[in-house]
Amino acid sequence: MKVLGIESSCDETGVALVEFAGMSVPRLLAQALHSQISMHQAYGGVVPELASRDHIRRVLPLTREVLGRAGLAISEVDVIAYTQGPGLAGALLVGAGVAVAMAAALNKPTLPVHHLEGHLLSPFLSDDPPEFPFIALLVSGGHTQLMLVRDVGQYEILGETIDDAAGEAFDKSAKLLGLPYPGGPHLAELAQSGDPTAFDLPRPMLHSGKPDFSFSGLKTAVLTQVRRFGEVPTAQQRADLAASTQAAIVDVLVRKSLLALKNSGLKCLVVAGGVGANRCLREQLNSACAKRNVRVHYPELSLCTDNGAMIAMAAAMRLQRGAPALPPGGGFQVKPRWPL
């Protein structure tokens, strides 16, 4: 069975094809991605209307590219999956509209997919896929959650952020440091030449005993520090603050993940979402988990941020477990706000 996946929830247009037989882990046949980052950079953040228009321009050429790479005709695709939410309404409508229209023209069924389920299952695209059950740390630009994952569709939320997401904390702090959008990777790069102990930044809820998070206080602390620097901070001051900010975010993420693992008794951790690309987070999780005999799985670096492969993968894994695809010719709706 071949599944085409289309992702258009925010600032990346992603298309991919996966194939599976029986219950074996689905295999990625081809993928293509267009990032709008350079387009939005001039505005310091995602401009929803520009995002939607760009998805319109990209989605069909990317689909052709993917089919070409896989050496398949569109008629050989069995199911067309798309991100139904959460995300920007206009951006989601592009992917959903194209997927449903193509499916109607080809007389193929569709499968709407939850964007976060895509992130969550993206480590199954790696060479060393995890096994159920596991604890998942989902850290993206809009979400920060710890989950107990028993199987596809069986998700128990153990804890989540009560305010900003981890990616948001990276992005907002980066902006205060004058770094371009999206701030996370830029802050991580600047942090490499800084001292993570230079500033004692808050780690809210660290000792709450619950796997919940709060990051909004961090950006206030970063702002206070930036103001103390005066008009022109030195390169070292900026690097030190970046390193200290990253250390505070990573520290909380690592400790809460360990708490969730300990409470559940599970020995497998899956990290997914854009912040999962952070090297400092990976190093600290790897060393903490190695000491506790816990295996950690990440998506390939290129599949941490939004992409079509994770959507095709999530759809394929749901189909394997009997999820019904929707018949062609029906209507569709998107869900900009949609808890997992």
Q: Which residues contribute to the site for ligand KG4 (CB under 6 A)?
A: 10, 119, 140-142, 167, 170-171, 182-185, 188, 273-275, 277-278, 305-306
Give me the residue label for tokens 């247009």. 13
CB of 334 to Zn ion, least distance (A): 15
For residue 308, which of 1, 18, 53 has the smallest C-alpha distance?
18
The alpha helices in 72-128, defined as continuous H runs, are 89-106, 115-121
Q: 215: closest CA among 190, 242, 245? A: 245
CA-CA distance, 236 to 117, in Å (whole number)? 40
Euclidean distance between CA atoms 26 and 329, whole angstroms: 27
Q: Residue 8 CB, nearest distance to Zn ion (Å)?
A: 11
How much is the CA Rg of the chain, to the nearest whole Å?
20
Residue 181 interacts with, from Zn ion, ligand KG4, none (CB under 5-8 Å by kind)? none
The type of residue at 132 is F
CB of 234 to Zn ion, least distance (A): 35
- Name the residue nearer to Zn ion (CB basis): 171 or 306: 306
- Among Zn ion, ligand KG4, none, residue 182 binds (CB under 5-8 Å by kind): ligand KG4
When CB distances are held under 5 to 8 angstroms depending on the partner's kind, the choice from Zn ion, ligand KG4, none that residue 95 binds is none
CB of 329 to Zn ion, least distance (A): 30
Give least dist CB 304 to Zn ion, A: 9
Q: Which does 133 bind (CB under 5 to 8 A by kind): Zn ion, ligand KG4, none?
A: none
Q: Applying CB under 5 A, does 12 fall inside the site for Zn ion?
A: no
Contacts of 199 (CB under 8 A, 6+ apart): 225, 240, 241, 244
Q: Say if residues 121 and 310 touch (Cβ distance below 8 Å).
A: yes
Question: What is the x/- site pattern for Zn ion, positions 128-167, by CB under 5 A?
Answer: ------------x---------------------------
Q: Does 11 participate in binding Zn ion (rule CB under 5 A)?
A: no
**Under rule CB under 5 A, residue 307 binds Zn ion:** no
Is 306 a residue that touches Zn ion (CB under 5 A)?
A: yes
Report whether 77 contacts 108 (CB < 8 A): yes
Name the residue nearer to ligand KG4 (CB basis): 183 or 194.
183
| Residue 142 binds: one of ligand KG4, Zn ion, none (C-beta under 5 to 8 A by kind) | ligand KG4
Task: Tell me the backbone φ, ψ of residue 19, rounded to 5 degrees.
Answer: -135, 145
Binds 167: which of Zn ion, ligand KG4, none (CB < 5-8 Å by kind): ligand KG4
What are the angstrom distances between the C-alpha of 266 and each of 135, 147, 149, 270, 294? 7, 12, 11, 11, 8
Stretch that binds Zn ion, among 151-159, 161-169, 233-241, 306-314 (CB under 5 A): 306-314
Minimum Å gap between C-beta 140 and Zn ion is: 4
Q: Are 97 and 313 in contact (CB under 8 A)?
A: no
185 interface partner picked from Zn ion, ligand KG4, none, CB below 5 to 8 A per type: ligand KG4
CB-nearer residue toward ligand KG4: 58 or 108: 58
Question: Of 204, 201, 180, 203, which Cα lies nearest the Cα of 190?
Answer: 180
Q: How far is CA 287 from each of CA 109, 242, 247, rounded to the nearest angstrom?
A: 45, 22, 15
| Contacted by 211, from Zn ion, ligand KG4, none: CB < 5 to 8 Å by type | none
Binding site for Zn ion (CB under 5 A): 140, 306
